Amino acid sequence: MPISICIVEDDRKTRENLAKLLDAAPELKCLKTYGNGEEAVNGIPGDKPDVALVDINLPGMNGIQCVSKLKTALPDLRVLMLTMYEERDLIFDSLRAGAQGYLLKKASPAELIQAVEQVQIGGAPMSMQIARKVVDYFHRIPKTSPDIGKLTPREQEILGLLAKGCYYKEISERLGISIFTVKSHVQHIYDKLHVTSRTAATLKFFGKQ
């Protein structure tokens, strides 16, 4: 089955071009497009897409607010921010709201398609400039969240790999354990850190929350 997508973008031409681009990829299908956050919040829960592409600078409700409401209605929805903004605060506010990826609009069509595929299988795709800002910020953080002390050494090891963007399969191969065991550890990590996503766990790992 192709990956189903909804687009939230206020510029009509950009919206239409994105829809055409996604529909041209055999593994993707654009279900519907929305011109503002209010319409998206009302419509997307009924569309039930796999992935939502959301701009930040929307009229009325902004994209970050839109993402927060969408994730409340559809916790399993994968959200990829697609924007021109590179400000660090907007990046982290988007991730806190529930976005799994952050891509700049100047990304090539191939990069966009790849990012949609990555976010659907649990990845956290980011444009190179965005990833660099995130890494630079984390490198300046002096300590992790106190909650990390609740984790066992193995759980801390797995969380460190999650924070680096590793998939479950990669963690399984690196540590010589089954994917089922990895998933079990991850669930225990989420429970102990009181989070429900890789992004939130990563932010705690780096002391952001």
Do 101 and 25 share a domain, yes or no? yes
Do 121 and 53 share a domain, yes or no? yes
pLDDT at 116: 95
Q: How does pLDDT run across 74-126, given as a tens digit for each residue?
A: 999 999 999 998 888 888 889 889 999 999 999 999 999 999 999 998 888 88
Do 145 and 131 share a domain, yes or no? no
Do 111 and 175 share a domain, yes or no? no
Do 173 and 185 share a domain, yes or no? yes
Do 129 and 190 share a domain, yes or no? no
The CATH number given to whatever domain includes residue 88 is: 3.40.50.2300
pLDDT at 128: 83
The amino acid that residue 96 corresponds to is R
For residue 60, the enclosing domain spans: 3-137
Do 21 and 62 share a domain, yes or no? yes
Do 98 and 158 share a domain, yes or no? no
Please tell me the total count of domains within the chain: 2
pLDDT at 207: 65
The CATH number given to whatever domain includes residue 193 is: 1.10.10.10
Do 30 and 64 share a domain, yes or no? yes
Q: How does pLDDT run across 130-154, given as a tens digit for each residue?
A: 888 777 776 665 455 667 778 898 9
Give the pLDDT mean for 19-44: 96
pLDDT at 139: 65
